[in-house]
Each structure stands twice: as C-alpha cells, then as structure tokens.
Amino acid sequence: MTAAQSSRLWRHFFVGSLFLLSLYYLYRAINYRFGVPGRLGPPNPIATGWYYVHLIFALPVLLGAPLQFTSELRQRTPFIHRLVGRAYVAGATVAAATAIYMGAAGPYEGSRLSIAITGTLWLFFTLAAWRHAVTRNFAAHRAFMIRSYAMALVLVWLRLMFDFQDYLFFYVKNEELRDATREWASWVVPLLATEAYVSWIPQFRRRNPSEY
Ligand code: HEM
C-alpha cells in the first residue's frame, strides 16, 4: 500500500469514527432534551422554538459534513459536494446563531461566554470557508471547513469529556468549577488540535522559505 493510500484509509477511518460518535451523542442529546417531559421548560412556544430551530438546522451539518471530506465523492460528483456544502453553510449559520443566543441567555453563568465565543467562531469559520469556495481558493476553503466542523463537533467533545471527566478533570473537585472547565476545554482543546493539523505542523515541516 502506498503512503497516499494509507493516509486516505486513516482519514476515512477517522471521519467515519467521528460520524458514529456524532450519531451516538446526537441521540443522547435529543433524548435528554426532547425525550423527557418537562426538560424544555414551562410551555412557551418561543422559548422551546429555539431548541427546535437549532436542532433542525444543525442536522445537515452533522449528517452532511463527513460526506464532504470524501475526496472520491468530490471528484466524481462535484454537484453533490456543492449541494451538501450549501446545506451545511445554511444549517451551520442558523444553528450557530441560535447557539449563541441560547448559550448567552442560558442559566449556566460559567458557560455563557464560552458558548458565545464557540458559536461566533463556528459562524466565522463557516462563512470564511464559503467565501473561499466562491473565490475558488480551495486550500483556504479546506482549512476553514475543517475548523468549522471541529467547532460543530462541540456537541460530541463536550459529552465525551463529560463521560470521562473523572479522569480528565480529577483535579477539579468543585462541581461548578468542573462544569465551567469542561465547557471551555470542549472547544479550546479541539481548536488547538485542529490548528496544529491545519497550520502549525505543515508550517513546521516546510524547509524552503519560498513555500511560505
Ligand atoms: C451540528 C452540531 C450540533 C447539533 C446536532 C446540536 C444539537 C443540539 C441538541 C439536540 C440540543 C438539545 C440538547 C441539550 O439541550 O443538551 C442542543 C442544545 C444546545 N446547543 Fe447544540 N448542537 C450542535 C452544535 C452546537 C454548537 C457548536 C454549540 C455552541 C456554539 C451549541 C450550543 C447549544 C446550546 C447553548 C444548547 C442549549 C443547551 C441547554 O439549554 O442546556 N450546539 N444542541
């Protein structure tokens, strides 16, 4: 197997695993909020409407994004890539805007700023990726889409960190502090890892100054 084939295989494995994890945590999030009577709060169509709008627009993001990273699909059926891409951008724009509102207006004080920043980054990365696709700067488009997807997956990172918090945050005994630490870590750590992959490591490996 060539190096290119093995790297493609690893990429498929990674994106496929992320997709399965997303489905699992999406099921848990829906079950938590919509499956238990009373979790949406007192009957109020405006307040509960935010949850529904957020979820419905986030679905094409979570379900469509893994397809976009398949290079075979991009090459063989570019119109599908463009169609799913448009649904992703529209979905992420509305889902991020509702996330900012719900997070900033939500009851958890330690999470407000964290969610507002994540939502703003998600929105910015998505619109930057879209703009670079329109101007056909595909290297920048790819990098911003990876950043956007990493932010969308906060749904996964947050719950994964919750499940492993006894190991990850054993040194934070106070429960409220632990919740806030988890909330911040859920996007700061994936964003740093994404930047390392997209920007720092390739820049570190470059030997020829003309490549900058
Ligand atoms: C495509 C990815 C996403 C999907 C499928 C999704 C889905 C959901 C679902 C099903 C809920 C209801 C469950 C719950 O309240 O815990 C929810 C709530 C929420 N989501 Fe998302 N979400 C996504 C991304 C994000 C991102 C990136 C943010 C932050 C910027 C965010 C912020 C919120 C907030 C603030 C709530 C309300 C939480 C609460 O009231 O406790 N979501 N989301």
Nearest protein CA to atom 34 of ligand 1, as residue: 99
User: Cα torsion at 51, 56, 57, 58 (round to 10°)?
Assistant: 80
Q: Is the CB of 152 under 6 A from ligand 1?
A: yes
Mean pLDDT, all residues of the chain:
93
| DSSP symbols for 154-168 | HHHHHHHHHHTHHHH
Q: How far apart are CA 50 and CA 69, in angstroms?
A: 29
Cα(26) to centroid of ligand 1, in Å?
A: 9
Q: Which of 24, 54, 59, when mutated, tests ligand 1's pocket best, judged by the most ligand atoms within 8 Å of its CB?
A: 54
Neighbour tally for 128: CB within 10 Å = 17
Q: What angle do CA 150, 118, 37 make, to 5 degrees?
A: 95
Task: State yes or no: pLDDT of 211 exceeds 60.
Answer: yes
Neighbour tally for 17: CB within 10 Å = 10
- Amino acid identity at 111: S
Cα(48) to centroid of ligand 1, in Å?
A: 13
Q: What angle do CA 13, 138, 133 make, to 5 degrees?
A: 105
Residues above pLDDT 90, as percent of the chain: 79
Task: State yes or no: pLDDT of 54 exceeds 60.
Answer: yes
pLDDT of res. 99: 97
**How many residues belong to the chain?**
212
Q: What angle do CA 78, 82, 86 make, to 5 degrees?
A: 170
Neighbour tally for 101: CB within 10 Å = 16
What does the pLDDT look like over 138-152, one tens digit per residue?
A: 999 999 999 999 999
0.85 exceeded by the pTM?
yes
What does each C-alpha distance from 59 to 65, 77, 91 come to in angstroms? Answer: 10, 22, 7
Class of the domain covering 11-211:
mainly alpha
> What DSSP designation does 200 have?
I
User: Residue 142 in contact with residue 202, Cβ under 8 Å?
Assistant: no
What does the pLDDT look like over 162-177, one tens digit per residue?
A: 999 999 999 999 999 9
Q: Is the CB of 150 under 6 A from ligand 1?
A: no
Q: Is the CB of 19 under 6 A from ligand 1?
A: no
Domain boundaries, the chain: 11-211
pLDDT of res. 210: 66
Nearest protein CA to atom 32 of ligand 1, as residue: 99
